[in-house]
Amino acid sequence: MESSGLYSPSPVVPFNETDKAAELGSTTYLVITSNRVTDSQLTTSLWLNTVLGVGCLLLFCVLQATVFPKHYRYRLFSPSVTVKPHRLATEGHKKYWHWLKVALKSAEGDIMRSCGLDAVVMIKSLSMGVKIF
């Protein structure tokens, strides 16, 4: 089957010496025969994920404390919420990290009363994932 000229796939270049390019008709496929991960790939992945994770955490801390304080503390200000969660620090450097201390020290019953069963199930699922991995 000839190419019409509208789409002409570029030739497949193998990733390493064990990979091969297999041709079936006019279509070229890349056949990966090895799934080895090198030390440099693992180190690069570790650093990249660490930088992205820390960046997201810092971005969250800044956004929840300065840009969107009422959005992240809606249950404190809403008149329809009868059982309010713990107050968070709003001044000084504590306003960035106080939420973490409160979240880690909150009892399951307190979370259930102020946030509901959905929040408790989510927290339990996340903590189980941390324990497994």
Type of residue numbered 76? L
Residue of 101, 100, 120 lying closest to 109 (CA atoms): 120
pLDDT digits (tens, 9 = 90+) for 11-44: 655 555 555 555 555 566 666 667 788 899 899 9
Q: Is the distance from CB of 128 to CB of 108 less than 8 angstroms?
A: no
| pLDDT at position 125 | 92
Structure tokens at 41: 């790939």
Report how far residue 37's alpha carbon sits from residue 65's, in angstroms, rounded to the nearest whole number: 40
Residue 98 sits at the vertex; the CA angle it makes with 93 and 103, to the nearest 5 degrees, is: 165
pLDDT digits (tens, 9 = 90+) for 54-106: 999 999 888 888 888 788 778 777 888 777 777 777 777 777 888 778 877 88
